[in-house]
């Protein structure tokens, strides 16, 4: 019976609980419905949300996610709108969604990478063709020969059109290039027309007939191009038929250059604009074409693109080089992020200020340490005599104070080092402190066993410092950090990884941390690389968090310490440098060829000046040549960049021919395997190429040999231009030192015999004579080298975006020109 009662009571509890739940649910519904009341305004809702957020972390997190979601939706909308506006303005022009087509096929990546790889080469080919066209027309204007035979041979027309129709996915690009080329044709026709001093008037019948013939030939071969376009985009209203198929039906008798030009320009511009707007819906591709200076559209100037989520669909990062990615990202992100950097900098300043007000004593120690560091550094660099004794006392007291008040191992290690050096150094060329102590104070030689203990202590603490320097000064962390900032690829997952690592940092003593510094750096680097394969959301927020958290850990105190390390390191290096320099100078004092080295270096400087003058002359010559070939932008304004490029090319070609330089050897033998300047960075794959490795090792060897002789050439892998320019300096320096300056063993023996037999000049005198003549000869060779290098530099400067693939191409073109010229002569 009792059991039954218990069951009943438990049932009633369950029943009452359910009733209670239902009542709460009803009450909840009523409460939420009451929010619909018109009396509740937006501010009330936000007050409610603020209250809930401040008291309930779960709600705050959920609300933040809601905000992020809304932000993302708005970003997407804005990103779409940046191109939609322009699409709406293009009326009935064909709407082509190339992006979908590309993504739909398996070739989506090959298009983009091919685009990147080949864009410069295509530009170059178009320029070359245009140049030939220009030359032909120019010749025509001078010789009045039939236009067509000179302008386009049968083979040339076919080549050109094959080029235009060779690749499906580069169709749009080629189309626009073709447009540029047609503009060149018209420009040159205008030049011919201007020869009659009748600008704008109908061209002569002869030229018109020939041009019409040419147009028919072009239109015939253009059918392939047109069909291909039609096949890809049904129902499009291709308005550029006039360019591809209707030359023959055009009424040439009513020809007016201006109207035709305007019509062609408008048609092509509208069509191209539409195509570009469609294809460039991603900010990345937008940026790609933005770099193509010939063809700028107004939408690029006004668009703001905040949606990064499309990027991974578009770019095949595995196939892009680091340089390409860097170049693309740099341009795109510059203006967006510069404000953030300024804010961060102001934040750093503020934190320093806070630190100074909160830690006055510690700051005093740091400041005094820094001042003393600088004093020592200045003293070692200036190499002046030691200061007077009273100043020395101040320095010693300061050093002792700083050393024993400094809390950090690394700082103490540095000062141990300085004290140790001063302990052994002679003062005023007389006695060291050590000797002075032995002689005048209570110390005896055996007491100085303490030195052993001291030096052990020094090495112990220094080892940690060295580890720090190694990792710090290789700059890995800063490099990775800068990369991350430049690329803006940090994201939430990365942030979590970083956070874990930085939390770990807090728990590890600094000395131990430095040991693992490189490991952490690698981990961060790997994370950044892996990040490319992951989602790209919340990037901005991740960057902000990362910066603020990194700073909170690397606080002002740590910053001050690192500043000390740097100063200490500089002082130490300068100290060592001064000593080494003294030894080297003493070593070289009696070497006669030291003078020759100096004169040679001086001579090099003079030749460098000549090089600059030469370049200046070329550029001024280029400027004088301007006005013959003109390119136009979308608004029919002259484009000076193209023009100067073109003029530079022609001038350089002529210069090269006139001077009869062996440019092929220069480019192919010496530089074709070498990376070029202009922000070119070595990728791992390139650096590991066997031929590059061999070349680099050889240069390293030469560098070491040169250093043994007192010459110092830092071999900088990153700065290829320096590397190349210095490599040949080393080349002939080596030749001079090893082959010319010194006699072979056989020669040496022969001369010695001669000395004995004939009492002739001493071996050393002969060596000096021989070296002087070698210097003269090599200086002459050097001048030639400088001249060759100047040619090369001029080419690369005239075409700042020139790729390594173009140099061999340039060589071929130049050789071709030379051959043609010789044949004609």
Q: How many other β-carbons are positioned within 10 Å of the β-carbon of residue 642?
A: 21
Residue whose CB is less far from other proteins, 73 or 738? 73
Please name every residue paired with 432 in a beta bridge, in sequence order, or none if there are none. Answer: 426
Of the listed pieces 76-84, 228-236, 730-738, 751-759, which binds other proteins according to CB under 8 A?
Answer: 76-84
Under rule CB under 8 A, residue 536 binds other proteins: no
User: Taking CB under 8 A as the rule, does residue 756 contact other proteins?
Assistant: no
Instruction: Determine contact, residues 781/732, Cβ cutoff 8 Å.
Output: yes
Query: What one-character DSSP code corresponds to residue 224?
Result: H
Q: How far is the CB of 27 from other proteins (least distance, A)?
A: 7
Total Cβ atoms within 10 A of residue 332: 18
Residue nearer to other proteins on the CB measure, 86 or 226: 86
Q: Which of 2, 32, 507, 756 binds other proteins (CB under 8 A)?
A: 32
Q: 10 Å Cβ neighbour count for 245? A: 18
Among candidate residues 688, 658, 692, the one with its CA nearest the CA of residue 675: 692
The rounded distance, in Å, linking the Cα atoms of 342 and 350 is 12
Q: Which residues are bridge partners to 431 per DSSP?
A: 427
84, 194, 382, 394: which one contacts other proteins (CB under 8 A)? Answer: 84
Residue ranges in 328-387 that form contacts with other proteins under rule CB under 8 A = 336, 339
Nearer to other proteins, 267 or 307 (CB): 307
Q: Among all chains, which residue has been given the structure tokens 């018209």?
A: 186
Residue among 8 and 44 whose Cβ is closer to other proteins: 44
Least distance (Å) from other proteins to the CB of residue 554?
Answer: 23
Pick 75 or 754: Cβ nearer other proteins = 75
Site string for other proteins, 543-562 (x = CB under 8 A): -x------------------
Separation of alpha carbons 514 and 467, rounded Å: 6
How far apart (Å, rounded) are the C-alpha atoms in residues 720 and 96? 43
Which pair of structure tokens corresponds to residue 671?
A: 């530089």
Angle subtended by helix axes 450-473 and 517-531, to nearest 10: 10
Q: Are 216 and 250 within 8 A, CB to CB?
A: no
Give residue for tokens 């779960």: 58
Tokens describing residue 42: 């937006």
d(CA 795, CA 652): 7
Among residues 336 and 595, whose Cβ is nearest to other proteins?
336
Q: How many CB atoms lie within 10 A of CB 202?
A: 15
What's the rounded Cα separation, in Å, for the pair 249 and 242? 9
| String marking each residue 33-72 x if it binds other proteins according to CB under 8 A | -xxx--xxxx-xxxxxx-xx--xx-xx--xxx-xxx-xx-
- Cβ nearer to other proteins, comparing 61 with 739: 61
* 45 or 612: CB nearest other proteins: 45
Stretch that binds other proteins, among 384-392, 432-440, 523-531, 540-548 (CB under 8 A): 540-548
Cβ 275 vs Cβ 98: under 8 Å: yes
The verdict on 491 binding other proteins (CB under 8 A) reads no
| Selected binder of other proteins within 7, 24, 194, 441 (CB under 8 A) | 24
77 near other proteins, judged by CB under 8 A: yes
Alpha-carbon distance of 554 to 542, in angstroms, equals: 18
SS3 491: coil
The CB-of-41 to other proteins minimum distance in angstroms stands at 8
- List beta partners, residue 638: 632
Q: Which is nearer to other proteins, 71 or 686 (CB)?
A: 71
For residue 536, the minimal CB distance to other proteins (Å) is 15
Tell me how far, at minimum, the Cβ of 287 lies from other proteins, in Å: 15
Q: Are 322 and 683 in contact (CB under 8 A)?
A: yes
Give the CA distances from residue 733 to residues 165, 496, 702, 778, in Å, rounded to whole numbers and listed in that order: 52, 54, 9, 9
Closest CB 103 distance from other proteins, rounded Å: 25
Q: How far apart are CA 550 and CA 495, in angstroms?
A: 11
Q: Which stretch binds other proteins (CB under 8 A): 82-90, 144-152, 170-178, 742-750?
A: 82-90
Interface with other proteins includes 81 (CB under 8 A)?
A: yes
* Residues between 303 and 322 with contacts to other proteins, criterion CB under 8 A: 303-304, 306
Of residues 382-421, which lie at the interface with other proteins (CB under 8 A)? none
Q: Which of 8, 29, 585, 669 binds other proteins (CB under 8 A)?
A: 29
User: Which stretch, 23-31, 102-110, 195-203, 230-238, contacts other proteins (CB under 8 A)?
Assistant: 23-31
Residue 455: which of 489, 482, 424 has the closest Cα?
424
Least gap, CB of 34 to other proteins (angstroms): 6
Which neighbouring-strand residues pair with 427? 431
Q: Whose Cβ is closer to other proteins: residue 488's or residue 650's?
A: 488
Going by the DSSP 8-state scheme, the letter that residue 202 receives in this structure is P
Residues at the site binding other proteins, with contacts judged by CB under 8 A: 24-25, 27-29, 31-32, 34-36, 39-42, 44-49, 51-52, 55-56, 58-59, 62-64, 66-68, 70-71, 74-75, 77-78, 81-82, 84-85, 302-304, 306, 336, 339, 540-541, 544
């Amino acid at each position: 019976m009792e059991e039954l009662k218990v069951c009943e009571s438990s049932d009633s509890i369950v029943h009452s609980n359910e009733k209670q739940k239902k009542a709460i649910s009803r009450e909840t519904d009523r409460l939420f419905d009451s929010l619909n009341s018109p009396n509740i305004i937006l501010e009330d809702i936000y007050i409610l949300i603020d209250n809930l957020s401040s008291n309930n972390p779960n709600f705050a997190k959920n609300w933040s996610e809601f905000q992020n979601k809304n932000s993302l939706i708005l970003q997407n909308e804005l990103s779409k709108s940046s191109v939609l506006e322009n699409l709406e303005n293009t009326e009935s022009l064909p709407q082509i969604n190339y992006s979908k087509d590309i993504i739909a096929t398996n070739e989506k990546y090959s298009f983009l990478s091919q685009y990147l790889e080949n864009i410069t080469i295509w530009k170059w080919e178009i320029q070359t063709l245009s140049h030939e066209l220009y030359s032909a027309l120019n010749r025509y204007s001078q010789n009045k020969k039939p236009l067509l035979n000179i302008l386009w041979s049968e083979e040339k027309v076919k080549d050109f059109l094959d080029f235009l129709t060779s690749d499906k996915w580069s169709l749009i690009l080629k189309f626009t290039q073709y447009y540029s080329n047609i503009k060149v044709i018209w420009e040159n026709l205008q030049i011919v027309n201007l020869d009659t001093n009748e600008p704008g008037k109908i061209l002569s019948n002869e030229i018109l007939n020939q041009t019409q013939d040419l147009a028919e030939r072009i239109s015939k071969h253009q059918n392939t191009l047109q069909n291909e376009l039609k096949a890809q985009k049904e129902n499009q209203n291709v308005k550029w038929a006039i360019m591809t198929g209707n030359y023959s039906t055009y009424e040439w008798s009513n020809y007016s250059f201006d109207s035709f030009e305007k019509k062609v320009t408008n048609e092509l511009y509208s069509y191209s604009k539409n195509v570009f707007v469609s294809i460039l819906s991603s900010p990345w591709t937008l940026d790609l074409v933005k770099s193509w200076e010939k063809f700028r559209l107004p939408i690029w100037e006004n668009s703001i693109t905040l949606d990064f989520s499309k990027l991974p669909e578009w770019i095949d990062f595995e196939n892009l080089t680091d340089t390409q990615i860097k170049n693309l990202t740099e341009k795109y992100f510059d203006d967006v992020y510069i404000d953030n950097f300024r804010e961060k900098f102001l934040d750093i300043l503020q934190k320093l200020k806070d630190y100074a007000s909160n830690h006055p004593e510690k700051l005093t120690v740091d400041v005094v340490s820094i001042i003393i560091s600088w004093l020592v550094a200045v003293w070692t660099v200036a190499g002046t005599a030691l200061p007077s004794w009273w100043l020395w006392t101040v320095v010693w007291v300061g050093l002792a104070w700083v050393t024993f008040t400094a809390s950090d191992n690394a700082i103490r290690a540095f000062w141990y080092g300085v004290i140790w050096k001063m302990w052994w150094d002679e003062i005023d060329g007389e006695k060291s402190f050590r000797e002075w102590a032995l002689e005048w104070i209570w110390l005896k030689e055996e007491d100085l066993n303490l030195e052993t203990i001291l030096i052990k202590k020094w090495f112990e603490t220094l080892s940690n410092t060295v580890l720090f320097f190694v990792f710090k000064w290789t700059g890995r962390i800063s490099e990775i950090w800068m990369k991350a900032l430049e690329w803006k690829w940090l994201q939430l997952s990365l942030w979590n990884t970083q956070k874990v690592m930085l939390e770990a940092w807090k728990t590890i003593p600094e000395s131990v941390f430095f040991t693992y510094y490189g490991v952490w750096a690698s981990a961060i680097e790997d994370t950044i690389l892996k990040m490319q394969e992951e989602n790209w959301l919340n990037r901005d927020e991740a960057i902000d968090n990362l910066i603020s958290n990194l700073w909170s850990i690397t606080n002002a105190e740590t910053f001050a310490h690192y500043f000390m390390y740097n100063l200490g390191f500089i002082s130490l290096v300068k100290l060592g440098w001064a000593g080494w320099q003294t030894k080297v100078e003493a070593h070289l004092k009696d070497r006669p060829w030291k003078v020759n080295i100096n004169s040679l270096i001086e001579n090099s400087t003079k030749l460098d000046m000549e090089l600059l003058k030469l370049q200046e002359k070329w550029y001024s010559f280029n400027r004088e040549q301007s006005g013959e070939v003109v390119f136009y932008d979308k608004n029919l304004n002259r484009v000076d960049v193209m023009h100067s490029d073109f003029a530079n090319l022609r001038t350089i070609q002529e210069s090269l021919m006139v001077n009869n330089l062996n440019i092929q050897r220069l480019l192919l033998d010496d530089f074709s395997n070498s990376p070029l300047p202009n922000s070119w960075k070595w990728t791992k794959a390139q650096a590991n190429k066997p031929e590059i490795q061999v070349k680099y090792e050889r240069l390293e060897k030469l560098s070491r040999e040169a250093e043994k002789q007192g010459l110092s050439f830092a071999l900088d892998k990153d700065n290829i231009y320096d590397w190349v320019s210095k490599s040949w300096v080393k080349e002939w320096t080596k030749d001079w030192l090893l082959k010319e300056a010194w006699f072979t063993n056989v020669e040496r023996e022969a001369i010695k015999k001669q000395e004995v037999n004939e009492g002739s000049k001493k071996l050393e005198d002969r060596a000096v004579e021989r070296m002087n003549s070698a210097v003269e000869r090599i200086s002459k060779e050097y001048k030639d080298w400088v001249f060759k290098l100047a040619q090369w530099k001029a080419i690369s400067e005239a075409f700042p975006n020139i790729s390594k693939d173009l140099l061999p191409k340039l060589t071929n073109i130049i050789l071709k020109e030379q051959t043609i010229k010789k044949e004609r002569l």
